[in-house]
Chains A and B, each alone.
Chain A
């Protein structure tokens, strides 16, 4: 069993497991939406004193922060105990395209040159990470949700606004991939 779990999970099993998470949270009387945590953290830090958007009872969101905490632990467990050393099976074409941008692939989940501790010594990379994160945070609050809130929860409930948001996610993603990344890498 554990040997099976250690293999990379096929897409259909992964997709089904994500729905299981959504259903667990629904069953607990909550809803699946991760980016709400970012707003909660701003509110906890005192942003509600100046700006009404952050002035809400964040204590009602503690469950979601616990979920966030768990997700970090889960990542640690998966990498440390539930993985094999076999490289990820990324498409050869993607490997070749990224190589042209100067980003190598060594079989790991994420490029060390962007996300390792050493990558923090590169000032250009620091700016890139901050701006990238900024866009995700700003965009998810502007759109009222992220991949979990719109693409999974919203589309599961056949919400037109979520479909518009998901189309936006892809428009933005394609612009970044094909128009902007060739200029900055």
Chain B
């Protein structure tokens, strides 16, 4: 039962991603072609509000629902893995119009072929785990 709140948060996330049209292959194409402000507006608003919220949480030392202080993990320092990984991700994002969340949301939206994109993503994740130590990080 304690997992219920995560299912509900996920449902809300699926609705938001669909209603914002961020799950749309067409919207992603429009974004990469710089032909509409829509996606930039969404991401920009999210970052602006996110930065404000995170700094307030830190400033006032807020606690989470279990009473633990909220801590934000810093990302590991590095350059190559973020750039190379990011570029590879971007290639797939533009081609399939989906990042990992929307792949699943789109299954619910009635696009069964997304299952193949998900299968590909699992294969890619697996191969990264296999090759990890041989890649420049």
Contacts and interface: CB of A to CB of B under 8 A. Distances in A.
Contact of A136 (B30, B41, B120): B120
Contacts, number: 489
A47 B88 CA distance: 22
A-side interface size class? 35 or more
Contacts of A25: 9
Interface string A107-136: 001110011110110000110111111111
A26 B10 contact: no
B124 A141 contact: yes
> Which of B33, B51, B85 has the most A CB atoms < 10 Å from its CB?
B85
A98 B33 CA distance: 11
A114 B113 contact: yes
B48 to A, nearest CB: 8
A139 B54 contact: no
Contact of B35 (A18, A67, A94, A154): A94
A50 to B, nearest CB: 8
Contacts of B97: 110
Interface in A15-29: 15-29
B24 A88 contact: yes
Nearest to B22: A14
B18 A168 contact: no
A94 B5 CA distance: 39
Contacts of A72: 10, 14, 104-105, 107-108
Interface residues of B, number: 113
A45 to B, nearest CB: 8
A177 B26 contact: no
A37 B116 CA distance: 16
Interface string B15-48: 1111111111111111111011111111111111
Nearest to A142: B85
Contacts of B65: 27-29
A151 B116 CA distance: 25
Given A11-B41, A37-B100, A110-B97, A155 B75 contact: no
Contacts of B41: 11-12, 14-15
Contacts of A68: 10, 104
B56 to A, nearest CB: 10
Interface of B: 3, 5-33, 35-51, 53-54, 57, 64-66, 68, 70, 72-79, 81-101, 103-114, 116-130, 132, 135
Q: What are the nearest 5 A-B pairs in CB distance?
A: A168-B86, A74-B14, A70-B10, A172-B90, A133-B120
Given A23-B53, A68-B10, A120-B112, 12 more contacts: A28-B9, A34-B99, A71-B14, A73-B14, A74-B10, A75-B104, A134-B127, A141-B125, A150-B86, A153-B50, A161-B82, A168-B89
